[in-house]
Amino acid sequence: MGRFTSAKHYVAASILIPAGAALVWPSNSWITILMILWLVLAAMFWIRAERKNNQERMTRTIQAMQSSSIRTLNHHRHDWMNDLQVLYGYARLGKLDKTILYVEKIKTRMAVETAIAKLGVPSLISFIQSFRTITNSLALEVEIQDELNIGEMSIDAEGIAETLIHIINAYRFAVKAGNGELSVLRLELSADEDALYAAFYYEGELMNEQQWNKKIKQQLEGAPLKQVGSEQSFSKVLLRAEMSA
């Protein structure tokens, strides 16, 4: 709690002083005037403190977004430098066949990045692009059918994005690390005329499967994405969201 938050609560509580005096001497007009002035000043201070708190929250949010963007750019820069070093090494050795194969690998990865950037929901795009900066225990792979744009569908795009993010985080917090192998979560997104489909495939171990299952049920309760089928396991989760008429 910031100093302005504490101060405005103290100021609000101080109103009890003139209010109490007005109750003791109800016929004294000066006390009534004092109470009104006190209320006005307290209200003015409360509004000022609230604006200051909002500004501080906004500043912290902007700084967090800037830090996340910088970390994401640094990771991409690191990947680009690695790619250039590999290509340079193949070129110096005259290995044209390997150079071509590696360029194709880069093209495939860039196509995935382009598809992610066209999903149409900034919160989901930002989360996926920056995922590598928030964990070292889980790799997220994304496969998107054609040029899928959730934001342009007749569907609750923000609700779907929020649900997808929460489910990915449920895996992230439940992953069992330290076994020497990196766990992998693959998200496949596709759509037809009737619905949007999201499929999660997990390779790895969980610390507590029951706790993970509870989290998933909580995230799907009331969400636009619904479970497909009656039985699910942590290794495979299939979801579907109906298009609006």
Q: How does pLDDT run across 1-22, given as a tens digit for each residue?
A: 445 455 555 555 566 565 565 5
Say yes or no to pLDDT of 233 above 60: yes
Q: How does pLDDT run across 80-121, given as a tens digit for each residue?
A: 888 899 998 998 999 989 999 999 999 998 899 999 999 999
Q: How does pLDDT run across 49-89, given as a tens digit for each residue?
A: 777 777 777 777 667 666 766 777 777 788 888 889 999 89
pLDDT band at 127 (very low <50, low <70, confident <90, very high): very high
Helix, strand, coil distribution of the chain in percent, nearest 5: 60, 15, 25
Please report which helix (H) or strand (E) contains residue 138, including its range.
strand 138-144
Q: Are 121 and 161 in contact (CB under 8 A)?
A: yes
Strand partners, 237: 200
Question: Measured over all CA atoms, what is the biggest interatomic distance in the chain, rounded to whole angstroms?
Answer: 100
Per-residue pLDDT at 76: 74
Look up the pTM and report it.
Answer: 0.72
Q: How does pLDDT run across 187-220, given as a tens digit for each residue?
A: 999 999 899 999 999 999 998 888 998 999 999 9
Q: How does pLDDT run across 178-187, given as a tens digit for each residue?
A: 766 789 999 9
Q: What is the DSSP letter of 244?
A: P
Per-residue pLDDT at 77: 80
First to last CA, the chain: 46
Rounded to whole angstroms, how far apart are CA atoms 148 and 133? 25
Per-residue pLDDT at 143: 94
Q: Are 119 and 125 in contact (CB under 8 A)?
A: yes
Q: Enumerate helices (H) and strands (E) in the chain, giving the number of each.
A: 7, 5
Per-residue pLDDT at 1: 47
Say yes or no to pLDDT of 167 above 60: yes
Strand partners, 149: none
What value does the mean pLDDT take over residues 237-243? Answer: 93
Sheet holding 226-227, edge to edge: 138-144, 183-191, 195-203, 236-242, 226-227
Per-residue pLDDT at 30: 60
